[in-house]
Structure 1
Amino acid sequence: MGPRIGEGPQMPDRSTKATMGAEDIHERKVSMEPRDSHQDAQPRGMFQNIKFFVLCHSILQLAQLMISGYLKSSISTVEKRFGLSSQTSGLLAAFNEVGNISLILFVSYFGSRVHRPRMIGCGAILVAVAGLLMALPHFISEPYRYDHSSPEDRSQDFEASLCLPTTMAPASALSNDSCSSRTETKHLTMVGIMFTAQTLLGIGGVPIQPFGISYIDDFAHHSNSPLYLGILFAITMMGPGLAYGLGSLMLRLYVDIDRMPEGGINLTTKDPRWVGAWWLGFLISAGLVVLAASPYFFFPREMPKEKYELHFRQKVLAGGASIGSKVFYTNCSCVAGNGTISAGSCESACSRLVLPFILLISLGAAVASITHTPSFMLILRGVKKEDKTLAVGMQFMLLRVLAWMPSPVIHGSAIDTTCVHWALTCGRRAVCRYYDHDLLRNRFIGLQFFFKSGSLVCFALVLAILRQQSREASTKATVKSSDLQEL
């Protein structure tokens, strides 16, 4: 620690200089600089407190991830509402990375040269606008019309082929009503609006994480910075969970709850034709982002450096040293005695394994999250202060290019290959009605295993490189010490 105000400067001895880190030297220099009495007498407000900034940034990133995560929670409903394939919807989910990648290096380069809190606030406002645009197609499109066809409208060949285990069912023409060019154009307009919104969502998110992380590391005590970043990431990781919870609530409401048809509807949430109020969650999430963005316009460009390590952190370290008009199918080869079965999804024999699956997936995600903070600290401690924002921005760019952008498309394509029954809209293949669950499970878990194995190999390579660098540094230090002794 540097000398307190009012004491004479204490010069460190030679051994202290040898072990002193860059952050300690910086703090010592700052503490030896004289201050004016007016500045000392002025009380520090909450917008001059790095702890309050950590709280605000945690809430903002939580709300930001709620918007991006909410799309993933309602993606199947968006597919059904606008007739999208899983590949197209996967591309839509990944399209926010396009706007992010195009600007993240450029914006990150100017990180220490601009008013970072205000830039974060402006980016958050753009994220909120993107959330509103995502909900816009609901208000400018016609009300949802679901299929009212009866069993008599279907051919026996189609009904029988859907049950045959050795053949693929033909694409359904039930939703293939006569479509005008105006209808097709309007459909493309809705999809285009959502792609535009996703692009703006990526652009708005550019300054939020890199600027926030570098701002915290610049003005927090160097011993507290990892703790603050850990708290930030821990709260942020709740965003996707809250998004899925919000999606579960919103999708229980009918999509046209604001313009219900006369006489109501004859659908339940278990009906395959049900479409929930996917748009409502975007409005709620956008409102939360606007509220979370407000404090950023009051934070200073630079605030006083935090001087002391948290007391409870010191104690912890010390202690550590110690019924929806039923449709029926007949002549099904998979039913004994050529019996009659009702339409809908079959009960899964693996339903009892859902809870163990969730627990294992959660455990895997928790273990993977352990590496999140150390990887950021490795970068923040390995670059100069003025390059911190650029380094974090480059890391996020690589994550988006190599992982976040291609991942939804890859998974969407894999899901599409497991479809056994496609519906047609306007003469084109649209949403999948039924999947081969066994094949879907194998391909989804197989992709997870492949990517996790690759991640393990990369971490092993990083460990090997760091150990090699440590050996080389130790060898150089030994040689230099022996040379000095000879002199």
Structure 2
Amino acid sequence: MGETEKIETHRIRCLSKLKMFLLAITCAFVSKTLSGSYMNSMLTQIERQFNIPTSLVGFINGSFEIGNLFLIIFVSYFGTKFHRPIMIGVGCAVMGLGCFLQSLPHFLMDRYEYESTVLGNLSSNSFLCVENGTQIFKPTEDPSECVKEVKSLMWVYVLVGNMIRGIGETPIMPLGISYIEDFAKPENSPLYIGFVETGAIIGPLFGLLLASFCANVYVDTGSVSTDDLTITPNDTRWVGAWWFGILICAGVNVLTAIPFFFLPKTLAKEDAKDNTDIIQNDKEEKQKVKVKKENDGITKDFLPFMKSLFCNPIYMIFILISVIQFNAFVNMMFFMPKYLEQQYGKSTSDAIFLIGIYNLPPICIGYIFGGLIMKKFKITVKQAAHVAFWLSFVDFLLYFSCFFMICDNSSVAGITMSYEGIQQDLHVGNSILADCNMDCNCPTKIWDPVCGSNGLSYMSACLAGCETVIGTGLNMMFQNCACIQTLGNSSAVLGLCGKGHDCSMMLQYFLILSSISSFIYSLSAIPGYMVLLRCVKPEEKSLGVGLHAFSTRVFAGIPAPIYFGALMDSTCLHWATFKCGESGACRIYDSTNFRYLYLGLPAALRGLSVIPAIWILIILRKRHLPGENAASGTVPVEAKVTGKENEYQEMDQISKVLNNDVLKTKL
């Protein structure tokens, strides 16, 4: 009786430790996806804070993948030989360090100063149109002031911090999943991994909500009176408190690291039935020898496996398709907040919130339904290839509807419209000045927009020809504006004019279509990855999945935001200007060309991926895949059991890949 109680107590103790690890690794997944989704959502704010072009912001975004690649091979092949919980804990702590480093520039720099003709000149009214007045907004020629004005290379802290965050994230997924698989019952492993994957879904939800909140809070809140501000969150000069959310992410990552340092290197298997410690220790030693032999075999067979994969046409074509489509989707999701801002006039805070509400739930639902369909209907690999292709193709055709959900450019006199309210060619040249403001001696480069009572926006109150002002802060109203041609008193208020009700309706249609598109494409994700896993030999699967992830990161995750950002920069109509005359972040884009690039380039890339996808379908018709039965008929019981186990393992691998590649890319 005593021995039985001892065994039961031992099992409870081991189960408790495993469940403690399960809870800890789930929290780690929440924290890493929280900081990842938050950082991706805040890059627009960082662009404005440091006054850098979008292409450079794309490079900062890609630095996470660069950091991830530094350790991915080391962790994949040698991680199991070390104390995995401690390595995961160190990874979480390193992620926290990276987040802290990213927030550091806020405390090292001076307060954020946005372009304004009003601030500091309210008492003298020198920002208004005064005939034959003196221009007070001339660029300085003092070198010392220029050094202070240019924010030097403070953005490097964000880049390095993001790279360190990528390094810290590397061991969490592979070592966490392998730890669960080693010490959990085979039938419990999928359930436990499902709990962990739930964390990968909860994290982005909290991350997007946190980003939406922080984007609505002014960057220097607490040290600057918000009553004195002349901009709102809808203004392209607005910078939210990006640093605050990153500090929260840093704290969460450090806290999640603590439990891992108190967890053991190994545990007894959940279904262990040995009654003595000697037999258990003997099993553990045998397991270690087995793992060592497996690792030695992997190292020895590395080059033959690589050769086999490179000579596998289906696998190589699948990688080609993934790289092309990841280029399309990375660009779409990374620049989606900016697109909603420029096309539909939404603030960054609203754009992030809408993306989280409309896109994240359909992705999760599509992912779950895709797995259920595969399991319920027992879809074969060739059928899965057709399901993935046709779902993706339907989504591709549906995608073209986005080209009809458009809004016109913001009406800004001298940039997109003439002062008479007639649309003008955006590439004619500089026509900022007109007869109505020629004698006002206004600055022509400072972006401080006002909305006239005629529905036309102007770059500043001075360029609108306004002579008087009443009120303070956001309540200021400019009157007697010579350039505003309207009946009665011509006046203007701060900010760009809104885009109207029709544009709001177009935004709703776009978001609904985006939700449907996200669901359909996510539905095709699991069948697509089933093709990836089944087209290679069982012993090559681990290396095949790793090489696939490596390829998509190197050829899509890193370069795509950089070249796409450079293309976005080419559509800029007006850049922010430093006191020394240097350009900063873009204030307004040509929304028509921006739309053509944002929607057109991904459409071209996805259309290009259809060709190799059809090629795969043709090859699959005549090819016998590894693990397939040569002919239909009776299958031995052992083969059925083995096939079932392999199916569970493959579905687990699909889940891991999707949560760490497709879902992360979508978010």
Question: Shared fold by TM > 0.5?
Answer: yes
> Which residue, out of 62, 66, 86, partners 2:34?
66
Is 1:83 the equivalent of 2:51?
A: yes
C-alpha deviation, 1:130, in angstroms? 0.7
Q: CA RMSD in A?
A: 4.3
Is 1:187 the equivalent of 2:142?
A: no
Asked whether the 8 Å contact 2:15–2:270 carries over to 1, the reply is no
Is 1:363 the equivalent of 2:530?
A: no
C-alpha deviation, 1:111, in angstroms? 2.4
The amino acid of 2:576's aligned partner reads A
Measured in 1, the distance between the counterparts of 2:516 and 2:23 equals 26
Of the structure 1 ranges 359-368 and 123-132, higher mean CA displacement relative to structure 2 is found in 359-368
The amino acid of 2:70's aligned partner reads S
Corresponding position of 2:462: none
Asked whether the 8 Å contact 1:118–1:296 carries over to 2, the reply is yes
Measured in 2, the distance between the counterparts of 1:128 and 1:206 equals 13
C-alpha deviation, 1:129, in angstroms? 0.6
Corresponding position of 2:346: none
Give ranges in structure 1 of 5+ residues lacking alignment. Answer: 1-34, 157-172, 309-315, 482-487
Is 1:438 the equivalent of 2:402?
A: no
Q: What does 1:21-60 align with in structure 2 at a 5 Å threshold?
A: 41-45=9-13, 53-60=21-28
SS of structure 1 residue aligned to 2:549: helix
Q: Kindly tell me: are residues 224 and 245 of structure 1, through their superposed partners in 2, closer, same or farther at Cα, counting changes over 3 Å? A: same
Note the alpha carbon deviations across 1:1-32, whole angstroms, 9 max, x for none. xxxxxxxxxxxxxxxxxxxxxxxxxxxxxxxx
C-alpha deviation, 1:200, in angstroms? 0.6
Q: What does 1:298-313 align with in structure 2 at a 5 Å threshold?
A: 298-307=262-271
Q: Kindly tell me: are residues 261 and 341 of structure 1, through their superposed partners in 2, closer, same or farther at Cα, counting changes over 3 Å? A: closer
Measured in 2, the distance between the counterparts of 1:54 and 1:374 equals 28
Is 1:214 the equivalent of 2:178?
A: yes
Is 1:257 the equivalent of 2:410?
A: no
Asked whether the 8 Å contact 2:60–2:159 carries over to 1, the reply is yes
> Which residue, out of 562, 571, 580, partners 1:418?
571
Q: Kindly tell me: are residues 140 and 332 of structure 1, through their superposed partners in 2, closer, same or farther at Cα, counting changes over 3 Å? A: same
> Which residue, out of 101, 110, 116, partners 1:133?
101
Asked whether the 8 Å contact 2:478–2:491 carries over to 1, the reply is no
Asked whether the 8 Å contact 1:117–1:297 carries over to 2, the reply is yes
C-alpha deviation, 1:282, in angstroms? 0.3
> Which residue, out of 141, 146, 160, partners 1:196?
160
C-alpha deviation, 1:432, in angstroms? 0.6
The amino acid of 1:188's aligned partner reads S
> Which residue, out of 110, 113, 125, partners 1:142?
110
Asked whether the 8 Å contact 1:117–1:296 carries over to 2, the reply is yes
Asked whether the 8 Å contact 1:108–1:390 carries over to 2, the reply is no
> Which residue, out of 226, 246, 264, partners 1:282?
246
Determine what percentage of the aligned residue pairs are the same residue. Answer: 31
Asked whether the 8 Å contact 1:376–1:392 carries over to 2, the reply is no
Measured in 2, the distance between the counterparts of 1:293 and 1:154 equals 56
The amino acid of 1:405's aligned partner reads I
The amino acid of 2:624's aligned partner reads S
> Which residue, out of 476, 479, 496, partners 1:345?
496
The amino acid of 2:101's aligned partner reads L
SS of structure 2 residue aligned to 1:75: helix
Measured in 1, the distance between the counterparts of 2:622 and 2:190 equals 25
Q: Kindly tell me: are residues 189 and 368 of structure 1, through their superposed partners in 2, closer, same or farther at Cα, counting changes over 3 Å? A: same
Q: Kindly tell me: are residues 76 and 232 of structure 1, through their superposed partners in 2, closer, same or farther at Cα, counting changes over 3 Å? A: same
Asked whether the 8 Å contact 1:107–1:206 carries over to 2, the reply is yes
Measured in 2, the distance between the counterparts of 1:67 and 1:176 equals 39
Q: Kindly tell me: are residues 89 and 122 of structure 1, through their superposed partners in 2, closer, same or farther at Cα, counting changes over 3 Å? A: same
SS of structure 2 residue aligned to 1:423: strand
Corresponding position of 2:552: 399
Measured in 1, the distance between the counterparts of 2:494 and 2:602 equals 32
Q: What does 1:315-394 align with in structure 2 at a 5 Å threshold?
A: 324=474, 325=476, 331=483, 344-348=495-499, 349-370=502-523, 392-394=545-547
Of the structure 1 ranges 424-433 and 78-87, higher mean CA displacement relative to structure 2 is found in 424-433
Measured in 1, the distance between the counterparts of 2:515 and 2:251 equals 29
Note the alpha carbon deviations across 1:74-115, whole angstroms, 9 max, x for none. 222222221111111111111111111122112221122222
C-alpha deviation, 1:258, in angstroms? 3.4
C-alpha deviation, 1:419, in angstroms? 1.3
Note the alpha carbon deviations across 1:367-403, whole angstroms, 9 max, x for none. 4334556677777886778x87765544432232122
TM-score (norm 2): 0.54
Of the structure 1 ranges 77-86 and 346-355, higher mean CA displacement relative to structure 2 is found in 346-355
TM-score (norm 1): 0.71
Of the structure 1 ranges 464-473 and 232-241, higher mean CA displacement relative to structure 2 is found in 464-473
Measured in 2, the distance between the counterparts of 1:473 and 1:390 equals 17
